[in-house]
Structure 1
Amino acid sequence: NSVQYGVNSETELIDYDEVYRLAKEHKPKMIVAGASAYSRIIDWAKFKEIADEVGALLMVDMAHYAGLIAGDAYPSPVPYADFVTSTTHKTLRGPRGGFILSKAQYAKDIDKWVFPRLQGGPLMHVIAAKAVAFKEAMTPEFREYAHQTVKNAKALAEELKAEGLRIVSGGTDSHIVLVDLRPLNVKGNQAEEALGKANITVNKNAIPFDPEKPMVTSGIRLG
């Protein structure tokens, strides 16, 4: 059983008061934080505070932010979460794959469930490529890259706003820019197809409280 929390209808930021209220009401065993189209800073410490108060574990999926976190351009959830999952092929710019971080007391059980219960033979060439990606992520050049990525996204958001587009939450703190197309009377799938023909890659994406179906959407995601 799962219970969803959302964003504030006015600010379009995560509604931590709602997270707290739902956590107090439902007493979950685990609270999950993370996002695929949330452009703002996520307050990991606040999630941890709420989780501790209701006796829940905290799991964070940082797949979309991992590279920015490695480059110190976005806050890290590692000091707060009991479990952190991520891909390695998004902002971390490594091979397609993933990893799991956890507090020490859970590591043995996680290893047991990954192998032999869920996975078989490892892909050693992918593991080697991950090692290269992690090494690159430790360099000053990668840190500069991560910070520049956020600067670029902020600049893009401001220019799109100047051209009359509505940016969800008013801007970005990450690499993601989520555009609300409703004022243009354009659907997300229409914009995705049209921009694709111009060799501009975006994806149709739901916006907060989206009235459209998931395969139509009222927005597009950049980044």
Structure 2
Amino acid sequence: MLELNNVRAGYGAINVLWDVSMAMEQGRLTTIIGPNGAGKTTLLRAIMGLVPLSQGDIKLRGERLNGKPTWDMADAGVAMIPEGRMIFRDMSVEENLIIGGFNKAQRAHVKTRLEASYDMFPRLRERRAQLAGSLSGGEAQMLAMARGLMSDPKLLIIDEPSLGLAPLVVNELFEILAKLKAEGRTIILVEQNTERALAIADHVYLLQGGKVVLSEAAASVTLARLHDLYFNH
């Protein structure tokens, strides 16, 4: 569904990604793991058009994504839930959600999508009129995820969803990810909690220094082997 071929990208004169090639299959959850500074977030930004490529191609269902403006990604069927939530704190929960479904293709379905969001995240229904800035960290993450789903994306990209959350909230979050996977959604997950990411993923990529050093079915990868790769590269 999504293919990256020999991608190089970075910031000005600083190159971060080196000849990265990946393939994310439709209806599967692909996790990208690696130490801080490995290039994971840069990779997601490159997919979203936030970082230009200096080499290579990114294709979604055969259509070239690189060069497409970020604001057109929702219409292309791609949504990203960024690290740090990045919700609109001075707007209500419901207003945040409505913004997520404002692309042309989905505008007519906003009410239906709102109900689906509240069914999946019942706490957001209780807080629909509250300012988003008053939510707890876990609730804010749920809002960010629900907002991303409002456009009914064909490809959902999630960056570090469990960062800074309490263990109970992390459990709840991964239950929701399992539900989304069971619905047949195509998901790219960047996650520091390697054990949880491996347990839910179909395929795993390990990035080190902006390069892919492992690409395998998640079921065949052990934490011990990943630990060795982390520290021996």
| TM-score calculated relative to the size of structure 2 | 0.31
| TM-score calculated relative to the size of structure 1 | 0.32
Higher RCO (C-alpha 8 Å, min separation 6): 2
More strand per residue: 2
